[in-house]
Amino acid sequence: MADPAARELPTVRHCASPDVYTQQLAAQPGFAQARVALDVETRSMVARGIFAAQTGITHIPVVVHVIWNTADENISDTQITSQITVLNRDFRKKNADLSTLPAVFAHLADDAQIEFALADTDPKGGATTGITRTHTKVTSFTYDDAIKSAATGGTDAWPADKYLNLWVGRLGGGLLGYAQFPGGEPATDGVVILSTAFGTVGTAAAPFNLGRTATHEIGHWLNLNHIWGDENGCVGTDKVADTPNQASANTGKPAFPHVTCANGPSGDLFMDYMDYVDDDVMVLFSVGQIARMHACLEGPRNTFPVVADKNLEQKRRGRGAGTDTN
């Protein structure tokens, strides 16, 4: 197996989800209007306390499409399952590195009550491992969705209303991944991740070797924006009230506090999964972000089952709903 360290690996997080979003606005009739309507409904559901009333766990079946050209890109089952483990820790607030969160921000972290598992039934009703493997002649993909189609060297999506499609392969231009926001075409719905930024073992390479690229991109898939709102200079918004306004993306390993946009003394919430920091720095989704994700799960992604959990009832009574704003 080739040594992934021998090839150029990304050193700064680069997510193409905003680029894909812009393309969808231009190419998909009605997408812009649908997104406006979704934002209106999201604000309404968050204001009504949609997450505070949630007493179950949303279960999301996952299919991982491994698209490989060289042997090292054909990542192991163990590397894939390590990524699922990370997702369940991060979305259930069970990640050990949450202890690094500054005390001033501790009240913002919460359990998203979302769990992921490799699918055990394929679209035809047969047994599956939840993993597909496709050898391709394409040496590198970008964010044009070619990896999502067998006709262009990738693999077709499984039904997006029943599965979270994760495509894993070689991406060029320093790209770590990208996601499709809710409301896009089902044939391209899902998340794409660079193979060396997927999971925690095998070819996973620092500083993106803790599985947080998938956590970040699935946040987009569940309708979260980048925490700075993709507009520099303190004018952007992620439409979540409890994440401090910040001037631009944070990268690498910032020192706390990092004050921008008059958000002192605590500064930017750069430890959030939706910033651009290294994997070992990002540790939380905020209460407001989780409320926004659950509005998405009650809206455009409402086909995934919620399983009741009696242990959440007491937690519900003491939890605030968060607030979504423009």
pLDDT tens for each residue of 229-244: 999 999 999 999 999 9
Instruction: Report yes or no on 206 lying in a domain.
Output: yes
The alpha carbon dihedral of 140, 145, 151, 156 has a sign of positive
Please, what is the Cα angle at 268 between 265 and 274, to 5 degrees? 160
The pLDDT of residue 53:
80
> What gap in Å lies between CA 90 and CA 96, rounded to an integer?
9
| Assigned domain for 313 exists | no
- Token representation of residue 228: 């700075």
Neighbours of 258 (CB within 10 A): 16
CB 212 within 8 A of CB 281: no
Domain that holds residue 112: 19-232+286-308
Report whether 83 contacts 102 (CB < 8 A).
no
Task: Please name the residue that has the structure tokens 């009741």.
Answer: 308
Q: Determine, yes or no, domain membership for 11.
A: no
Residue 71's Cβ-count burial label (10 Å; 0-12, 13-18, 19+) is exposed
Report yes or no on 292 lying in a domain: yes
The torsion angles phi and psi of 191, rounded to 5 degrees, stand at -135, 140
**Dmax (CA) of the chain:** 56
Alpha-carbon distance 135 to 153, whole Å?
Answer: 8
Q: Which two tokens stand for residue 98?
A: 């949450």
Does 127 map to a domain? yes
**Which of 184, 54, 71, 28 is CA-nearest to residue 110?**
54
Both tokens of 22, joined, read 């812009």
Considering its fold, how many domains does the chain have in total?
1
| Domain assignment present for 147 | yes
What pLDDT score does 17 carry?
98
What are the CA-CA distances from residue 181 to residues 16, 97, 296 (Å)? 12, 28, 10
* pLDDT less than 70: residues of the chain: 1-7, 314-326
Res 315: pLDDT: 66
pLDDT at 310: 83
Catalytic residue list: 217
Query: Looking at residue 8, what is its pLDDT?
Result: 82
- 30 within some domain: yes
C-alpha 1/C-alpha 79 separation (Å) is 14
Report the C-alpha gap between 191 and 63 in whole angstroms.
11
281 within domain boundaries: no
Q: Which amino acid is at 109?
A: A
Q: 295: domain CATH number?
A: 3.40.390.10
Query: Measured between alpha carbons, how far is 144 from 161 in angstroms, rounded to an integer?
Result: 22
Q: What's the sign of the alpha-carbon dihedral 143, 144, 147, 153? A: negative
> The whole model's pTM is what?
0.95
Report yes or no: 53 and 322 within 8 Å, Cβ to Cβ: no
